[in-house]
Amino acid sequence: MMDAGWMSALEPVHAARGRARWRYTCRKGAPLEARAIVRAVEAIAGVSKVRVNPAARSLVVEFDPAATTADRIALDILRMAPLPRPHAQGEEPSAAPVALSAATLLATRSLQPGLQAPVAVGTAIPLLGEAVDDFLEKGVTSHVLEAMAVAISIGRKDYLAANMTSFLLALGEYLEASIERRSDDLLKHLLKPDVGEVWVERDGEEIQLDAAEVRMGDTVIAATGRVIPVDGTVLGGEAMVNEATMTGESVPVTRRRGDTVLSGTLVEEGRLRIYAERVGAQAAAARIADFVEHSLAVKSATQLEASRMADRLVPMVLGLAGATWLVSGDWQRVAAVLQADYSCALKLFTPVAFKAAMYEAGKSGMLVKGAKALERLAEADTFVFDKTGTLSTGKLEVTDSIAFKPGYSPADIINLAASVEEHYFHPLALAVVEASRRLHHPQHFDHKEVEFIVAHGVASIIDGRRIVVGSRHFVEDDEGISTQAHRDTIERLHLEGKTLLYIGFGGELLGVIALRDSLRSNSAATVRRLRRLGVKRVLMLTGDHPERARAMAGELGLDEFHAGLMPEDKARILQELAAGGARIAFVGDGVNDAPALSGAHVGISMHNGADVARLASDVALLEDDIARVADAKALSIATQRLIDSNFKLTVGLNTSILSAAAFGWLTPVAASALHNGSTIAILLRALAGAGLPRGRRTGALPRERTVPA
């Protein structure tokens, strides 16, 4: 993988309004495929069309001048990380080099003397070739030192040491590739593209197309039960749209002509004709998918630092070998010193520990998208939660039923409302029907045919009197039923953050039903556990009403909350927190959370959230259990501690081996055995120690579970 950008140079050739042409140069080792470059550049905000001519190294970009500029696009192109080259479908990392080096190692003593040298050389050829490339490009690196150790061992006819080094390097590469493939397979499974068909109006007819065929300017039809596939403006119709994935608002909202609608939101009831403004590659999901691919190609700071340190220690080992010869004149001591170095363990255990932890996380219900995500999660000291679908279930439940007319009980109010709403699939109606079922004496009231008024409520006739159930606007403005006599009660319920359903009967306000988005049973326990894991602050951001947010924040004991937010507000608040020195982990589940998830120090998405949120996050939960957030934090801390302790072990053991070799206390074979043996032990420790902390099983870091009452 490359750590630098994709392009090493971008030379402007021509520019006009909305169009620019550059001559590009890719960095050595970066993908050269035109299709990959086109896909990456198309993901840049404001870009509408891309053409690439690999032979001429020409890149032509058409863009929206109102949204961006040629200079900004050029800067984004230079910042692009190369897309990782994924394994082909079903392709397993080859174990042949490991098997060959293992067989060579086991057969070292039994081979004929004349065969030992050519067999050892043949096994080491890939390593030696890589070292030559490294030396020509970068000078003396740890790869060069590894090759020198093998070459010197072969030159001294110490074939056991040479073959052991070759085997360890091949094994490490195989283990890393295998664990990386498993993690990538989990990612592919989680982020299945949402492929479906869309109704589009063309030439006065409604036709069904694949979602990929929808064009900007099309008139898209979205009816009850359908997810809106585009960003656009409503041309006609009226519907109740569930925008919880976009705004965090748990109650559906009315959308009609002139209103803006967003992809990923759900039409709960009604039908809309929508002018498609952003489709296909311009959609947020496509852009964030590329962001994820880029992020997977980036190594963690710990891994890079370990690799750099290993390279910096190469001259020290060579210098120690030279000093040993100058002091002692003993080539055996020199050979013993050259058999040991820091690079094998330093370069192998860090990526293996990270990848093994990622794989174990996947088996435990958490998809971690790269070593950097684990590293940043361990550093996070501030956790910021979205509300709806994260701390809460996203489902409404009845909290209060209040009767305003004598002779009617709270149960009567619920039963009356449920009787006329039982065939209505609005979230409020479903919650009322469920509340009726839970009553000790549920009762069904016979009624005439139910009238459904889109975005308002329902009406029917019971015992010759008209019953209406719906919004305050419906009951008060459309039906002429006054609510003023009960204003104090209604205001109190609003201040408690509850959504109200009004019941009018015979022209009078019979009562109200209050509903609220319910908390997850273990949200409070998760917040407490995060504090025990070292988190300093826990906050909540939401697009929901302030009253609802305040009630929930108080119940959970949060440090702070912000309500009534739009997506850009969440990202802005995170920027302000980061500017104050906070290292933020953001937990969300909606389309509106994508900017915050991408911009936070580390982003965590819930299992049942929007695809865009899961794509934008660094950690995606594979189970609908908020306790996994604390598990992910515990895992990251345990992994970082494992890496830190392995680093100390590596430095301590190898310094001791090198010192003993320089003083002549170890033969070359003994130095090689100790060095390679310690490398194997540290690598196995990295593998065995991966996963959730042992304390979770022994009680040091218990995961709290809340038993429902």
**What pLDDT shows up at residue 592?**
63
Torsions phi, psi for 296 (to 5 deg): -70, -20
Mean pLDDT lowest among 244-258, 320-334, 426-440, 487-501: 244-258
Measuring CA to CA, how many Å separate 491 from each of 62, 487, 515, 547, 554? 54, 6, 14, 11, 19
34-48, 434-448, 598-612, 635-649, range with the lowest pLDDT: 598-612
Which of 709 and 578 is assigned the larger pLDDT?
A: 578
**pLDDT at 247 exceeding the cut of 80:** no
Higher pLDDT, 87 or 457: 457
Alpha helices in 503-626 (DSSP H): 523-532, 546-556, 567-579, 594-599, 611-616
Q: List the single range of 106-115, 183-192, 652-661 with lowest mean pLDDT.
A: 183-192
Active-site residue identified among 290, 386, 412, 593: 386
In this predicted structure, the answer to whether residue 298 has a pLDDT above a threshold of 60 is no
Pairwise pLDDT comparison (693 vs 541), residue with the higher score: 541
Contact yes or no for 469/502 (Cβ under 8 A): yes
Query: What's the CA angle centered on 39, arms 369 and 29, to 5 degrees?
Result: 70
Domains of the chain in start order, with CATH, are 7-83 (3.30.70.100), 197-281 (2.70.150.10), 395-518 (3.40.1110.10)
pLDDT at 182 over 60: no
Q: What is the pLDDT of residue 246?
A: 55
Q: Is the pLDDT of residue 489 over 70?
A: yes
Backbone angles phi and psi of 373, in degrees to 5: -65, -45
pLDDT at residue 621 above 50?
yes
Residue range 289-315: mean pLDDT, rounded: 58
| Tens digits of residue pLDDT in 504-535 | 998 999 999 999 877 888 999 999 999 999 99
Confidence of residue 415 (pLDDT cuts 50, 70, 90): very high
* 440-454 tens-digit pLDDT: 888 888 888 888 887
Q: What is the largest CA-CA distance in the chain?
A: 113
Amino acid at 17: R
Does the pLDDT value for residue 191 go beyond 50?
no
List beta partners, residue 392.
519
Residue 605 has pLDDT above 60, yes or no: yes
CB neighbour class for 590 (10 Å; exposed up to 12, middle 13-18, buried from 19): buried
SS3 letters for 137-201? HHCCCHHHHHHHHHHHHHHCCCHHHHHHHHHHHHHHHHHHHHHHHHHHHHHHHHCCCCCCEEEEE
Position 607 scores a pLDDT of 76
Average pLDDT estimate for 664-677 = 76
Q: Whose CA is closest to 214, among 51, 612, 268, 222?
A: 222
How far apart (Å, rounded) are the C-alpha atoms in residues 448 and 465? 10
Looking at residue 362, its pLDDT comes to 74
Which helix (H) or strand (E) segment is 656 a member of?
Answer: helix 627-662
Tally helices (H) and strands (E) across the chain.
Answer: 24, 24
Distance of CA 662 to the CA centre of its chain: 49
Residue 1 has pLDDT above 60, yes or no: no
Average pLDDT value for residue range 387-405:
86
The residues, any chain, with a CB within 8 Å of residue 29's CB and separated by 6 or more, are: 2
The C-alpha atoms of residue 378 and residue 535 are separated, in whole angstroms, by 10
Q: What's the chain's Rg over C-alpha atoms?
A: 32
Q: What is the pLDDT of residue 291?
A: 46
Average pLDDT over residues 234-261: 78
Residue 404, pLDDT > 90, answer: yes
pLDDT tens digits, one per residue of 562-587 = 988 877 788 888 888 988 899 999 99
State residue 546's pLDDT score. Answer: 82
pTM: 0.60
- Could you tell me which residues come within 8 angstroms of residue 545 by beta carbon, excluding any fewer than 6 positions away? 249, 497, 563, 564
Most confident listed range (16-30, 241-255, 375-389, 685-699): 375-389
Residue 480 or 389, more confident: 480
pLDDT tier at 703, thresholds 50, 70, 90: very low
Q: Catalytic residue at 644?
A: no
pLDDT tens digits along 324-345: 889 888 777 777 776 677 766 7
Distance CA 568, CA 562 (A): 13
For residue 620, give the 3-state DSSP assignment.
strand
pLDDT at 177: 59
Please state, rounded to an integer, the average pLDDT across all residues of the chain.
78
- Write down the pLDDT at residue 300: 53
Residue 3 has pLDDT above 60, yes or no: no
What's the one-letter identity of residue 333? R
User: What is the dihedral angle through the alpha carbons of 465, 469, 470, 476, rounded to the nearest 10 degrees?
Assistant: 30
The pLDDT value recorded for residue 195 is: 38
H or E segment at 431? helix 427-438
Q: What are phi and psi of 565, to 5 degrees?
A: -95, 150
Share of the chain above pLDDT 70, in %: 78
pLDDT, mean of residues 132-140:
74
C-alpha span between 243 and 236 (Å, rounded): 19
| Listed ranges 200-209, 457-466, 539-548; the one with the highest mean pLDDT | 457-466
Residues 6+ apart with CB under 8 A from 566: 247, 543, 592
Determine the pLDDT at residue 502: 94
pLDDT of residue 145: 64
On the question of pLDDT at 87 being above 70, the answer is no
| Distance, CA of 694 to chain centre | 25
Mean pLDDT of 100-127: 77
362 neighbors 183 (Cβ within 8 angstroms): yes
Mean pLDDT within 148-168? 74
pLDDT of 126 above 90: no
pLDDT value at 190 more than 50: no
Min mean pLDDT across 63-72, 252-261, 298-307, 694-703 is at 694-703
Q: Provide the pLDDT for residue 526.
A: 94
Rounded Cα distance between 24 and 236, Å, is 46
| Weakest mean pLDDT among 309-318, 349-358, 504-513 | 309-318
Write down the pLDDT at residue 513: 94
Amino acid at 214: V
Question: Is a pLDDT exceeding 80 seen at residue 378?
Answer: yes
Quick one: pLDDT band at residue 295, thresholds 50, 70, 90? very low
